[in-house]
Chain A
Amino acid sequence: MAKHTITLIINGQSEELLVPSNMTLLHVLRDQLGLTGTKNGCEAGECGACTVLVDGEPINSCLVLAVELEGREITTIEGLSSNGKLTPLQQAFADLNAVQCGYCTPGMLMSGTALLRRNPNPTAEEIQKALVGNLCRCTGYQRIIDAIMEASRNGGAQ
């Protein structure tokens, strides 16, 4: 199978990559770039653990081929904080114990970040709707919703 040379802007950095046609963004991030913060839960668009931002909008990285994304900007969980400083949303997750096993957390943070950027003051219902595609088997969701609300009062997504 032929490979494609592509350039992706990942967390602000341009990366030239050699990828086979059938390699999803999820596998490029985890297996080629070692960015294992993005999780693999189902590879079927159901769980949201693989959520990343492409040009600022969240997508399931398990459902998109890396070669489809030539030249696009990708933000992963590793790209949220800068110089070790958490974003208000990350800080709120830590402060309010919105994390148990943590497997869903990167995806939750990416979806939550995108939500706060398009809607800085979401209601609980709007948060629930935005998180339909992010499953959590531990927290029961309430603390995650609380944390997003807290962040919206506290500087938003940034």
Chain B
Amino acid sequence: MLARPGLPDFEYIKAETFQDVFDWMKEKGDDLKLLMGGTDLFIQMRDRGEGPGFLLDVKGLPGMQEISFDRKNGLKVGAAATLNSLSSHPNLLTYYSILCQAADTVGNYQLRNLATLGGNICNASPSADMSPAALVYDGIVVVESPRGERELSLDQFWVGPGKTALEKDEFLKRIHFPTPPDKAAGSYYKLGRSKMGDLAIVGVAVLAFPDPNQPAGVQFRIGINSTAPTAYRVPAVEEFLAQSPTTDEILYKAAEMAMDISAPIEDQRATAIYQKKMVRNLVYKGLKEVREILK
């Protein structure tokens, strides 16, 4: 007997060109969903026992799996690049190490050969592991439609749990990350119910880099998931840190500020109060770690 029923009926279509995508999206409307790795989509369709009538596979479109980097323009990741292709990429390991660290915490190795960065971002789960890293690297999503390209910041893109700012005729083409400041150091801490392979109860990315113009001599960026309707940065905390010497006391105060800003809901994986305290602990841990790397 099957552990779960098979996938509900649908028609599979492979898009060869961007025009294909525009045409199919227009013709089928809400009865069509875009498919990349399917690791979110298939699970949702199985759990609900129903799905759209049509799945349009967009991962083979030109450039969709490409990863390119240069010091001047930064990193461009095609929406359908798999998480394993990110975490093994030499330029990413050097310049965007938190993206690699975060990717390595998603599910398991086999899954990461299917799961894509774009799918993680489009699924817009508050607990998505790529979100905190994408936020601290100032990720910009590049969206395609018959009207051409447009760019959105991530906080414009995520509008709520499972909800994005994509219009009915738009889809995600790539994600752009500007070159991080010189000597940037980063960390990603994820707390799950088990050490590896589980979804995040809380995940915290911290990026820091020297900045002689700040009283602290350094700037921090902090990205947090799982504890609000979308993943988020904490500008008030980042501002506070830039103003003060980075002693243990200041870092702890900053972590408490982040805890106060976090707004988790009670769910089956953790109580709200536990999640808040873990925001504090992981932010503190992350801040201390990157401070040591920068020393």
Contact = CB atoms under 8 A, between A and B. Distances in A.
Interface stretch (B39-47, B126-134, B276-284): B39-47
Given A22-B7, A27-B6, A63 B57 contact: no
A132 B10 contact: no
A111 interface: yes
B197 A43 contact: no
Contact of B4 (A21, A42, A132): A42
A134 B55 CA distance: 28
A44 B43 contact: yes
Interface in B30-45: 37-39, 42-43
A2 B113 contact: no
A27 B42 CA distance: 15
Interface string B2-19: 111011111110100000
A59 to B, nearest CB: 5
Nearest to A52: B110
Contact of B109 (A1, A44, A64, A111): A111
A24 B8 CA distance: 11
Nearest to A31: B6
Interface residues of B, number: 30
A116 B109 CA distance: 14
B113 A58 contact: yes
B196 A63 contact: no
A90 interface: no
A63 B107 contact: no
A22 B6 contact: yes
Contacts of B114: 59-60, 63-64
Contact residues of B: prevailing secondary structure:
loop
Nearest to B112: A133
A132 B108 contact: yes
For this complex, into which size category does the number of interface residues on chain A fall?
20 to 34
A153 interface: no
Contacts of B108: 45, 48, 132-134
A45 B46 contact: no
A48 B112 CA distance: 13
Nearest to B38: A63
A27 B3 CA distance: 13
Nearest to A60: B110
B236 interface: no
B270 interface: no
A59 B108 CA distance: 10
A69 to B, nearest CB: 11
Contacts of B104: 129
A2 B3 contact: no
B4 A43 contact: yes
A68 interface: yes
B111 interface: yes
A63 B42 contact: yes
| Most chain A beta-carbon contacts within 10 A, residue among B9, B39, B113 | B113
Nearest to B11: A21
Interface in A6-59: 20-24, 27, 40-45, 48, 51, 54, 57-59
Given A40-B3, A45-B110, 11 more contacts: A4-B12, A21-B9, A21-B10, A44-B43, A45-B107, A54-B113, A63-B37, A64-B38, A68-B38, A68-B57, A133-B110
> Would you list the 6 A-B pairs with minimal beta carbon distance, nearest first?
A133-B108, A21-B12, A22-B7, A132-B108, A132-B197, A43-B4
Interface of A: 1-2, 4, 20-24, 27, 40-45, 48, 51, 54, 57-60, 63-65, 67-68, 111, 128-130, 132-134
14 contacts: A20-B9, A21-B9, A27-B6, A43-B2, A44-B46, A59-B113, A59-B114, A63-B38, A63-B114, A68-B38, A111-B109, A129-B109, A132-B108, A133-B108
